[in-house]
Amino acid sequence: MLSYLHGFHAGNHADVFKHAVLTLLLDELLIKPKPLAYLDTHAGAGIYDLRADQASQTGEAAEGIERLWAQRETFPELATYFDAITALNPAGGCACYPGSPELARHALRADDRLILMELHQTEAQRLRQALGGDARTHIHRRDGFEGLPALLPPKPPRGLVLIDPPYEIKTDYSRVAEMLATALARWPNGVYAIWYPRLGVRDRAGRLLQRLLKTVPELLLAELTVRPQSDDFGMHGSGMALINPPWQFEDRLTQLLPRLAATLASGTLPDQSSGWRLEWLGRAA
């Protein structure tokens, strides 16, 4: 949706969860020496200033990256995530925050490739300013729902796709499922990470997962909840649906999610386990 600007939400709890999972995925995929392609359907501006007007208006980073940053020494598995933040903040702190394209750019190697899509004109311009000078990076000002299938299979043919539309209109949910079906037909061996919000009212996560399972036989579900679900329109958590994740990737998430949930929790949850969820959907027992 062209009215959505991620700068208002950069560094919030959903960003932290998404980016923690993303960098763990990259760590696993980069173990092998073969070149890797990273594709991002809704890339945004690439880098965000948490002191700027947009982020300052909402203050959401205070309950997200600022909390995690204060506890970063207790999360050694997120070194790739923290290294990217440190590189943008030579004087210290986390006020300059990397979006998913910059996290991937920082992690990837010389023979890897980034393919980034962003439709919003201003955001696409900022993305080019932030990452356009990197020869590995290919930026497309286009709708990611249309663009992803058109750009598959990528070169190199091994890689990861991040799908994270804003979901400000309900048709985004159905478009994600439709796009995934087309993408898998063209690139069945790719790793797909689909982010989605958990909302108090009009939550459509369940329907999205049902539609995804009509396309794939199984997926790894990871969710993080930071406050009790309420009857308003706020986001109390978010999730990632992972298709073709690296072997035993759930073991890494099992170690991370309980501690991440405890660090980011903003409300009293019924019990510790309610702050996170990790399970295979569709997998036979």
List of residues 6+ apart from 79 with CB closer than 8 A: none
Residue of 49, 111, 164, 231 marked active site: 164
Q: How far is CA 56 from CA 61, 152, 260, 277, in A?
A: 9, 38, 24, 31
**118 known ligand binder:** yes
**143 known ligand binder:** yes
Q: Among all chains, which residue has been given the structure tokens 């949706």?
A: 1
Strands 219-225 and 276-281: antiparallel
Amino acid at site 105: R
Q: Is 40 a catalytic residue?
A: no
Instruction: Determine contact, residues 216/15, Cβ cutoff 8 Å.
Output: no
**11 known ligand binder:** no
Amino acid at site 95: A
Q: How far is CA 48 from CA 16, 63, 213, in A?
A: 14, 16, 34
Q: How far is CA 114 from CA 104, 161, 200, in A?
A: 8, 10, 35
List of residues 6+ apart from 243 with CB closer than 8 A: 180, 184, 191, 192, 193, 194, 212, 216, 219, 220
Ramachandran region, residue 206 (left: φ > 0; alpha: ψ -120 to 50; beta: rest): alpha
* 194 three-state secondary structure: strand
Bind-site residues for S-adenosyl-L-methionine: 19, 42, 100, 118, 143-144, 164
Bind-site residues: 19, 42, 100, 118, 143-144, 164
**So which residues are the catalytic ones?**
164
